[in-house]
Amino acid sequence: MSQMVKRVVVGVDGSAGSVAALKQGAQEAARHGAALCPVLAWTPPGGEAADAMYPAPSDIRAHWETEARHTLTKTCERALGAAPFSLNVAPRVIRAEPGPALVASARHTTDMLVLGAGDHGLWHRFLHGSVSRHCLRHAHGPVMVVHPDETEVAEARGKARAPRRHPPVVVPVNPLDVWDRKG
């Protein structure tokens, strides 16, 4: 019938969206009896090009890596609880752009990719693009996009700003009188 999912790859960046994605991914993995692979992709703060021109000293590079690992562990703990997990969890840290790294990590059709929806402004979108959109375009298996809990968004932002609401849905005809259920 439907394809089995053998691996659930979750994109993690430490944001509220990625915590929600990890929670949902853990549920999916438990349901399918699949392995959960949280993946954190990172690039040097100045970008790969700048790092290639003027390579950072090894201790700084080590610091970035430790930082990435730390973020991944923290996010896993926030989403899944303390360290001994009931699931088969295989976290990975990859030095690459997040979109290609996630697509490469979930390269089989039996891999499900779970992402948090970025709640970013236009400026961020323009500079960084959308990871979820890249994955939707290039992934080989199903892709699930999860919206963060509003409480977590408020927590992450320090309640500085109310979570942005989506504009109301404009529906041309009243759906209630055309929902037509039979059989």
Partner 1 sequence: MRNSVRRVVVGVDGSAGSIAALRQAAGEARRHHAALRPVLVYSSPEGDYVDMMWPPDPETARELAHKAHDDLMCACERAGGLPDDVPCDPVVARGQVGPLLVEAATADGDLLVVGGGSHNVVHRFLMGSVSRYCLRHAPGPVLVIPPEGPAGHGPGTP
Q: How far apart are CA 10 and CA 24, in angstroms?
A: 9
Shorter beta-carbon distance to partner 1: residue 19 or 68:
19
Residue from 87, 94, 144, 154 binding partner 1 (CB under 8 A): 144
Least Cβ distance, residue 120 to partner 1 (angstroms): 12
**What 3-state class would DSSP assign to 124?**
helix
- Part of the chain binding partner 1 (CB under 8 A), chosen from 7-15, 26-34, 89-97, 153-161: 26-34
The Cα-based distances of 112 to 28, 60, 87, 106, 169 in angstroms read 9, 34, 16, 7, 29
Residue from 87, 145, 154, 156 binding partner 1 (CB under 8 A): 145
Distance of alpha carbon 9 from the chain centroid: 9
- Taking only Cα atoms into account, the Rg of the chain, rounded to an integer number of angstroms, comes to 19
Asked if 117 interacts with partner 1 (CB under 8 A), we say yes
Give me the phi and psi of 42, to 5 degrees please: -135, 155
Interface ranges with partner 1 (CB under 8 A): 1-3, 20, 23-24, 27, 31-32, 103, 107, 109, 117, 132-133, 136-147, 149, 166, 169-173, 175, 178-183
